[in-house]
Structure 1
Amino acid sequence: MHCTDRFHPAIPDFRDPFARDRDRVIHTSSFRRLEYKTQVFINHEGDYFRTRLTHSLEVSQIARAIANALGCHETLAETIALAHDLGHTPFGHVGGDTLDASLRADGNLHGFEHNFQSFRVVTKLEKRYAQFDGLNLTFATLEGILKHSYPYRKPFLTEWHDETFGLDYHPSIEAMIVDHADEIAYISHDIDDGIEHGLISFEDILENELVAYIDEKVRREGLQRGTELHRYRFVGMLISHLVTELIRSSRSGIPAKGRVLCRTIPVSEPIPVRFDPELATRIKQLKKLLMVKLYRHERIVSKMHAGKECIRKLYAALKEDIHLMPERYKSRLHTEKKERVIADFIAEMSDRYALMRYREIYGLM
């Protein structure tokens, strides 16, 4: 299958194939719901903080810049970035983990995985055409959504996925770019949100060499720690530094021919889009530091515990009484397992809708 092929015929129009994919993603209900899904902070915490929607937009902007600099297809990178979080549950990763545990407790060994759920959203769950399910996206976009995070082999992927998307091959260069753009966006913006929310300070993370390096650059501009402008400049300089270094260290590994490369690089070969080893180590150390200082902060853990309880109780209630689901979900129970249908319904919920249904069902209004 060629990178621009689709599973169903599409009438050509004035757009290139990946621009059509991007537009189809943006106009989905799943994309709009990202506005009210947690990134790190519960959606109702305040208007400043990132949501899954703003995060996806930030990832797409970073991915476009990197793809352009490396001579790759900007629009494909943008599209994969915009679609990469469509399968996330309410309450961030903790919501997905809770849904996964609930499914496995019921004997569903495939559980729940948000990358694969994003793939399911665009191939099955979104209904936009009378003739088929899904959005009928190009092969390259689907592969990028399914495989943008390494490793690609997962127990729930079938022989069909292997034959169609080549799980023994790296995805397109653009999908690799999105994976790094995702990392750059969430590291920098979680620091921004964490400091703005008073959960961490620069002093908490200055032990990291990367943070110290960027902080020194900002202070050379005459900006003192603790000011709003220092924080803004720090985040901007951190993103710029990471993007610049990723481009520099990746250029030599990008094949000269072909802007969109699918199923050409075996997984046994190194990923060509990568940071140099020293910077990669500093990034890894910073992520570990944020795990301790930010993601395990008492206030975040408390909110996430409430989110876990909400997901767990919703799953139990829907399992007990299927009539709590909309008709479009109940109609699927004739051909699909109840637990998977329930998981799809919960996964699509926004934070506030999940909380509303939880309170409504359990009489907590």
Structure 2
Amino acid sequence: MRAKYAANPDRSRGRLVSEEESHFRSCFQRDRDRIIHASAFRRLKHKTQVFVEHEGDYFRTRLTHSIEVAQVARTIAGALGLNSDLTEAVALAHDLGHTPFGHTGEDALSDLMAPFGGFDHNAQAIRIVTSLERHYAEFDGLNLTWETLEGIAKHNGPVTAPIPWALADYNLRHDLELHTYASAEAQVAALADDIAYNNHDLHDGLRAGLFATDELAQLPLLGRCFSEVDESYPGLEPYRRQHEALRRFFGLLVEDVIAVSRGNLARLDPPDVDDIRTAGRPMIRFSDTVWRDLREVRAFLFDRMYRAPMVVKMRSEVTAVVQDLFPLFMARSELLPEQWRRDVESANDKTGLARIVCDYIAGMTDRFALQEHARLCGGKPVPERGTPPHG
């Protein structure tokens, strides 16, 4: 049964461009489907979070991560009586704005764009779904509902000054009430993101040999999970042992969020979704104890995985790729594909050009960025499998 404070598709605030609604899909279902069919969503297959895409087929990509986030989000939303379609739409879209090479690429673009209004991946996701996807006859972007756009923009909480340029630009046309919290559905998507990446970064770090299973067994939360597995399955083969323990860790986080959030919602007893937005605090949360222990797990990953020598070396190499491509396209915009050159013709100044170049580079996959760098700058070649952005 859907809760009274769940987002109701029949009461949606609508789309920027009015459309006739579907007879057999709710507006939030249509949003989800449009996101899945978007070019930017397909490109997530070749964008990574920690490792570069060509380093191994086993490691998670932004696409597999987004699917995992959506699965967790639907589970939590269902348990809390929320709208699972809206939750899934926000979860699937939350990483659309990420650059090639994960946060390393974002950091490089942020530095390069500092004189031109900056760069933020959440704001870039809004730019993609409201402008850069250009497939429909009547509008640019995907023309998503206000609720889905709000969830993408604010799933990590209210957006305060300085508001990223791409988000501020759209908000002038379509007020997303950036000063408030998002719906409970969007808040669920944010916590599902935390759960998914904490779990799969441990998997990927083990796979890469950056740390050992016994080291994980010494961490809070995980120690308990390994003990339960050892008690139930003594002598279990190592790979199955680590998988069983991480599966329990995953479940522990989901169950904690559901229990704590149920309590928060029961105490607030909001009559509708707007009371979630104006509550002044997030309703969907971990318990204080689990959040404290999870910070220790994250500190371990930061030290042993995100700052591992092989990862630091990779970060330096791919940062150079972005730093080489950006000024090259700024100086020689004729190197951009034809559809991007048409946008350059309408750019009024250097800032306008920089934003076009930024959009182009941000949309690249890991592999395509490396291929373009090799072709244009003499960088290290990679196997031919890349695809251009927004094509």
Q: Same fold (TM over 0.5)?
A: yes
Q: Deviations over 1:137-187 (max 9, x none)?
A: 011100000111135224235397387111221100011001100000000
1:17 deviates by: 0.7
1:225 and 1:318 mapped to 2: Cα distance?
Answer: 55
2:254 and 2:228 mapped to 1: Cα distance?
Answer: 16
Q: How does 1:1-365 map to 2 (within 5 A)?
A: 3-13=12-22, 14-104=24-114, 107-108=115-116, 110-155=117-162, 156=164, 157-158=167-168, 161=171, 164-222=175-233, 227-254=238-265, 261-262=273-274, 264-266=276-278, 269-336=280-347, 337-364=352-379, 365=381
1:223–1:229 CA contact under 8 A, matched in 2: no
Aligned AA for 1:285? E
2:169 and 2:209 mapped to 1: Cα distance?
Answer: 48
Q: Deviations over 1:14-67 (max 9, x none)?
A: 101111001100101100000000121111111111000000000000000000
Q: Compared with structure 1, are the counterparts of its residues 195 and 227 closer, same or farther at alpha carbon in structure 2 (3 Å cutoff)?
A: same
1:263 and 1:127 mapped to 2: Cα distance?
Answer: 35
2:54 and 2:177 mapped to 1: Cα distance?
Answer: 41
1:242 and 1:203 mapped to 2: Cα distance?
Answer: 21
Identity among equivalent pairs (%): 37
- Structure 1 residue runs of 4+, over 4 Å off? 223-226, 255-259
Aligned AA for 1:140? E
Helix, strand or coil: the match of 1:165? Answer: coil
1:39–1:52 CA contact under 8 A, matched in 2: yes
Aligned AA for 1:199? L
2:271 and 2:241 mapped to 1: Cα distance?
Answer: 41
1:263 and 1:37 mapped to 2: Cα distance?
Answer: 37
Judge which range, 213-222 or 44-53, deviates more: 213-222
1:230 and 1:209 mapped to 2: Cα distance?
Answer: 17
2:135 and 2:275 mapped to 1: Cα distance?
Answer: 29
1:212 and 1:345 mapped to 2: Cα distance?
Answer: 45
1:25–1:31 CA contact under 8 A, matched in 2: yes
Q: Deviations over 1:183-224 (max 9, x none)?
A: 000001000010011111123334421121122122222255
TM-score between both structures, scaled by the size of structure 2: 0.87
Helix, strand or coil: the match of 1:164? Answer: coil
1:214–1:234 CA contact under 8 A, matched in 2: yes
1:170–1:262 CA contact under 8 A, matched in 2: no
Aligned AA for 1:351? D
Provide structure 2 residue ranges, at least 5 long, that are not aligned to the other structure. 1-8, 382-391
Judge which range, 5-14 or 132-141, deviates more: 5-14
Provide structure 1 residue ranges, at least 5 long, that are not aligned to the other structure. none
TM-score between both structures, scaled by the size of structure 1: 0.93
Judge which range, 62-71 or 211-220, deviates more: 211-220
Cα-Cα RMSD:
2.0
2:70–2:88 CA contact under 8 A, matched in 1: yes
1:300 deviates by: 1.1
Aligned residues: 360
Q: Deviations over 1:89-111 (max 9, x none)?
A: 0000010010010111xx22x21
1:264 deviates by: 4.4
